[in-house]
Amino acid sequence: MTAEILSVGTELLLGNIVNTDARDLAVALSGLGIDVHWQSVVGDNPARLRRALAVAAERAELIVTTGGLGPTCDDLTKQTVMDFFGLPMVRDARAEADLRAFFAGREMPENNLRQCDLPVGCTPFYNSCGTAPGCGVRTPDGHVLVLLPGPPKELNAMLLLSALPWLRQFSGAVIVSHDLMCFGMGESAIETRLRDRMNALQNPTLAPYAKEGEVRLRVTVKAATTAEAEALMAPVIAEVRETLGDIVYGMDVPSIEAVVLERLRALGKTFAAAESCTGGLLAQRVTAIPGASEAFAGGVTVYTNPVKAWLGVDPETLDRCGAVSAEVAEQLAVRVREKLGADYGLGITGLAGPGTDGVHEVGTVYVALATPDKTEVRPLALGARSDRSRVRALAVNHALDLLRRELEKNEQ
Amino acid sequence: MTAEILSVGTELLLGNIVNTDARDLAVALSGLGIDVHWQSVVGDNPARLRRALAVAAERAELIVTTGGLGPTCDDLTKQTVMDFFGLPMVRDARAEADLRAFFAGREMPENNLRQCDLPVGCTPFYNSCGTAPGCGVRTPDGHVLVLLPGPPKELNAMLLLSALPWLRQFSGAVIVSHDLMCFGMGESAIETRLRDRMNALQNPTLAPYAKEGEVRLRVTVKAATTAEAEALMAPVIAEVRETLGDIVYGMDVPSIEAVVLERLRALGKTFAAAESCTGGLLAQRVTAIPGASEAFAGGVTVYTNPVKAWLGVDPETLDRCGAVSAEVAEQLAVRVREKLGADYGLGITGLAGPGTDGVHEVGTVYVALATPDKTEVRPLALGARSDRSRVRALAVNHALDLLRRELEKNEQ
């Protein structure tokens, strides 16, 4: 089955928002083995939407629209699509009851009820995050239509809860993937090690995706059932893990900080961080995860030398070695561990750019780990051509990777 | 002139990346007064690209493609487009010289030279961030074509330096806008105050955009020249500033943290922050701006009560009032100011969720400011239905807003 994603919204044409809906739908439909061959965007304009529908109907069997299901006069998608395909609409009783409950105690403008009109014979997709329902329906001319709301939260919830289960009937296969998350080796080095296997593999396939110094190795397989898919993938995953060793920090995990927090919680341990050039980015990424306080005591952004000295870095060391040095990174890790009463301490100092200090290249960073009985420093050259945000992100990854490896040793 | 943006790339159809290029192009073309009526996405497949070109040629006068200009066998856009419109290509001497310089000292695979073939009679757009040039050209059948590379950095640089200046010849007018950045009043409250003016205005227009508790009020005007545009906008901007007062924190500024840093630098002052529920997000946002160390001494992420006590929060206050309290926010601000030797201190404590402490609603946050001679606390109810990242972002905005208002008073 070939599909077209048709996004409706003038705000997309003007560039006021980026079309994450199309991306989320593309991922979800690919997962069902449905080939998305086309995406298109049209404004809130019935004449141009009809033209776009004519093009889509000619080249795709499944048409998924996003946007234009709400109550305002701009919301024209449903009426225009149903007129185009000759599908009459009726008011859906449950959608109306939900809407009236939503407005309980407040006056409901009558135009809101337009949202509850759905095509005859459709499967309604009720909206768990908003008021406008979507639907899935077959047209008299044999097309499959799916109508979804535009706000990303509503779209994603409806996709997961209603649209994907309904679409499964049109999919002859499942597509399953697993992501092996790697840190500590570049994309090209990983490709060199795995190239022969990647070229030889047909199903499952193995593909690398690089992002901010991390590589996500995606193993994807098409099979009749999920169980068969898993069985086909298991030996490939085992082989990749064998080849890459400990640069694989997890499978299907969201981030290295999530892995570190998880391991610390399992061990009942905590850590703290002193950050200079990363300026709180590590703390922020860690605390963005709910429940981080169980394993993260806190951090200090030591953005100036007096603040480094206040944390306990020796002023003589700062003078002699400079703030961008292995010695200062090590002292930051040791002091923040002591002062904040954590089991592990991380220290980060370096030059994120764009300006230089006249001594170091942009991207010169030292990350350090202090444990109850030792310290370890990793000197980094993150590239003079990297921009500030990349240097900062990579430095945080390296610091977390130091701790991740230490925790793995403790578990063995 | 009506335009279609045609993005070429299988990675877009699979949802591996989100189409920021289309958004950036839409904004840029709108700025020239060119109406983008259509966007479409097609994979790296010549037959389907030809079909998409036929659709685009029928409905748009200007076609802007992105992607597929590189050296690999997947990069088919240029050849397919030129075949479709019947435009022969020749090797561009400067592009070839640039490419050979890029490979100086390394072996260059010959297929790289394909990038340097450009249509006869085009205006080449050389690539300041990569190797593949783009171009602008008129077709024999009267269309205007612009070919741009896919990687966002390359696209944006080429757009600014080459494509927009070239496209200006097709635009009869300039469109200029200014953004008034507001914090401290919701979008609907701002709309209520300005509704009559917004409805009455035709050129310039006035439109609000909401994001993470901030409102960007965009004044946009279409005029023959930039000077005329500015003259038309000035009275509207003055009127909006008059109506909204000090909730407008700046015009055409990137963020409230940039404004705070700028004002501190102008005053020769510094600040420091102690963050509980925001976990380093404030420090991270401030230090993401180059040169922040001139005005930001540092911060402490006080993620647990012992770390709050270490910074100097009275344990008795923690016991009596709890960590989520005005008293603790105030002490955090006072202590971090003292300990880090800054002119101003900010303290943030609250409940970001998703879990609750059984006492406070999610979104209960206190932000505090300590100056050399006083303290000020702003209690916040950021909404039990807000998610963790929204509560954190809003709390940071409120803390920075406290400091921004204090600095404005000092300037007066």
Contact: B298, A293; criterion CB under 8 Å: no
Residue A286: its H or E element: helix A281-287
Confidence of residue A412 (pLDDT cuts 50, 70, 90): low
Helix (H, G, I), strand (E, B) or coil at A288: coil
Please indicate, yes or no, whether the overall pTM of this predicted structure exceeds 0.90: no
**Surface of A (106-135) touching B: CB under 8 A:** none
Q: Which residues in chain B have their CB less than 8 angstroms from residue A210's CB?
A: none
Q: Which residues in chain B have their CB less than 8 angstroms from residue A355's CB?
A: 290-291
- Going by the DSSP 8-state scheme, the letter that residue A35 receives in this structure is E
Query: What's the pLDDT score for residue B176?
Result: 84
Confidence of residue A335 (pLDDT cuts 50, 70, 90): very high
What are the domain boundaries of chain B?
2-170, 174-251, 256-411
Please give chain B's pLDDT, 412 residues, in tens.
899 999 999 889 988 899 999 999 999 998 888 989 999 999 989 999 999 999 999 999 999 999 999 887 778 899 999 999 999 999 999 999 988 888 877 778 788 899 999 999 999 999 988 889 999 999 999 999 999 999 998 999 999 999 999 998 888 777 788 999 999 887 777 878 888 888 888 889 888 777 777 888 889 888 888 899 999 999 999 999 999 999 999 999 999 999 999 999 999 999 999 999 999 999 999 999 999 999 999 999 999 999 999 999 999 999 999 999 999 999 999 999 999 999 999 999 999 988 888 889 899 999 999 999 999 999 999 876 678 998 999 999 999 999 999 999 887 6
Distance from CA of B53 to the nearest CA of A (A): 12
Q: Which residues in chain B have their CB less than 8 angstroms from residue A42's CB?
A: 37-38
- Going by the DSSP 8-state scheme, the letter that residue B289 receives in this structure is S
Q: Which of B396, B389, B386 has the alpha carbon at shortest distance from B363?
A: B386
Radius of gyration of chain A from its Cα atoms, rounded to whole angstroms:
27
Is A291 in the B-facing interface, judged by CB distances under 8 Å? Answer: yes
Asked which of A83-92, A352-361, B86-95, B339-348 is least confident by mean pLDDT, the reply is: A352-361
**Surface of A (203-222) touching B: CB under 8 A:** 209
Q: Which of A390, A377, A389, A381 has the alpha carbon at shortest distance from A360?
A: A381
| Mean pLDDT of the A194-222 span | 83
Q: Which residues in chain B have their CB less than 8 angstroms from residue A310's CB?
A: 339-341
Angle among Cα A155, A132, A20 to the nearest 5 degrees reads 20
Option in A40, A284, A304 nearest B281 (CB)? A284
Distance from CA of A281 to the nearest CA of B (A): 5
Contact: A37, B43; criterion CB under 8 Å: yes
Contact: B299, A280; criterion CB under 8 Å: yes
Residue whose tokens read 């048409």: A63
Q: Which CATH number fits domain B256-411: 3.30.2320.50, 3.90.950.20, 3.30.70.20, 3.30.2010.10?
A: 3.90.950.20
Q: Which residues in chain A have their CB less than 8 angstroms from residue B388's CB?
A: 288, 290
**Joined tokens for residue B131:** 């190797």
Is B267 in the A-facing interface, judged by CB distances under 8 Å? Answer: no
Query: What's the pLDDT score for residue B109?
Result: 79
Q: Which of B271, B306, B312 has the alpha carbon at shortest distance from B292?
A: B271
| A25-56 pLDDT, tens digit each | 999 998 888 989 999 999 989 999 999 999 99
| B215-242 pLDDT, tens digit each | 888 898 888 888 999 999 999 999 999 9
Beta strands (DSSP E) in A199-354 are: 205-211, 214-223, 248-251, 271-275, 296-302, 344-350
Per cent of chain A over pLDDT 70 is 99
For the question of an ipTM over 0.85, the answer is no
Decide if domain A174-251 falls under CATH 3.30.70.2860: yes
Whether a cis peptide bond, with omega within 30° of 0, leads into B204 is yes
Same fold, B2-170 and B174-251: no
Q: Are A124 and A59 in contact (CB under 8 A)?
A: no
**Surface of B (316-375) touching A: CB under 8 A:** 339-341, 353-355
Return the amino acid letter for A257: E
Contact: A287, B280; criterion CB under 8 Å: yes
The top-level CATH class assigned to A2-170 is alpha beta
Contact: A340, B24; criterion CB under 8 Å: no
Option in B209, B302, B306 nearest A16 (CB)? B209
Length of chain A: 412
